[in-house]
Structure 1
C-alpha cells in the first residue's frame, strides 16, 4: 500500500484545521513554486518506475490537492484587491465632487461680490460676404468636389484593374495546375449473341 494518499489526507487536514494561509501574492507564489518543485522531483521519480502512468496519476492528484488551497487564496486576495481599488475610486470621486462643489460656491461668492459691470455693446451683425467673394468660394468648393470625384474614380478604376489581374492570375494558375484530361474509356464490346440476332 502506498503512503502518498496518507500525505494527501494530512495536507488536506492541515489546510482545513486553519493552518496559516499566505497573506500576500508573493507568499502564494513562493508556496506554489515550492509545490511545483516538489512535484517535479516526484514526477522524475515516477519516470524511473515500471508503472509510470499510475504513479503520474497519483502525482497529479497530489499536486492538484496541494494547489487547491493556494488557488482559493489567490482568488480571495484578488477579490480583496478589487474591493480596495473600488473603495479608493469611490474616495477619489467623492473628493473631486467636494472640491467641485466648494469651487462652485467660491465662484458664486466672487460673482456676487464683484461690482456690476455693464454688458458690452452688442457686436455688429456679421458682415455679409461680398457677391464676388461668395462666387469665388463657390467656385473653389466646386473645384474641390470635382477633384475629389476624379480621385475616387481613379481609385475605383485601379481597384477594378487589380481585381481583374488577380482573377487572370488565378485562372492561369488553375490552368497550369490541372492535369490533362485522361484518355476516353473504350467502347464496350457487344456480346456475341446480340450481334448475330436480327431485328
Structure 2
C-alpha cells in the first residue's frame, strides 16, 4: 500500500508540474508554483542536514584515534569562520564576498589541478593500451584542455595569429559543454518520464 501511495504521489506531482508549464496563468500553474515552493523548502532542509552531517563527520575524524584526519580541523575552522563572518557582516558585505570568492577560487583551482592530472594520466594509459584514432583524439583534446586552462596562450594576445588561435580553441569547450548539457537534458527528461509513469521508483528502497 505504501509503494502504491508513493507511486501515485510522484506521478501526480510530475504530471501537475508538466501541465502547469503548458497552461500558464491557470490553476495548474498555481499548483505548479506551490509544489516548487515546497520542493525548495524541502531541498533547503535537506541541504542543512547534509551540512550538519558533513561537520559531524569531520568532527569525529578530529577526535577519533582510529581514523584521524589532519585536514578536518582546517575544514571545521574555515567553515565556521566563513559562516560567522557572513552572519555578523551580512552576505552583501564586501569583505565577506571577497572571502567567499577566495575560498571558492581556491577550491576550483585545486579541482582543476586534480582534473588536469587525471586527464593526463588517463590519456597516457589510454594511448599505451590502444593506439587508435579515438586514443589520438582523446590525447589531442587533453593537450588542448591543458593549454587553454594553463593560460599560456593568453600571454600572446597581442599577436593576431595567437589571438585567433586562442579564440578558436576557446570555442571548443563551449561546443563540448553544449553537447553534454543536451545529453543531460535528454537523460533528465527520460528519467522524469520513467518516474512519472512508475517504471523507476527511486523513493522505494526495498
Q: TM range, normalised to the smaller chain?
A: under 0.3
TM-score (norm 1): 0.23
TM-score (norm 2): 0.23
**Larger-Rg structure:** 1
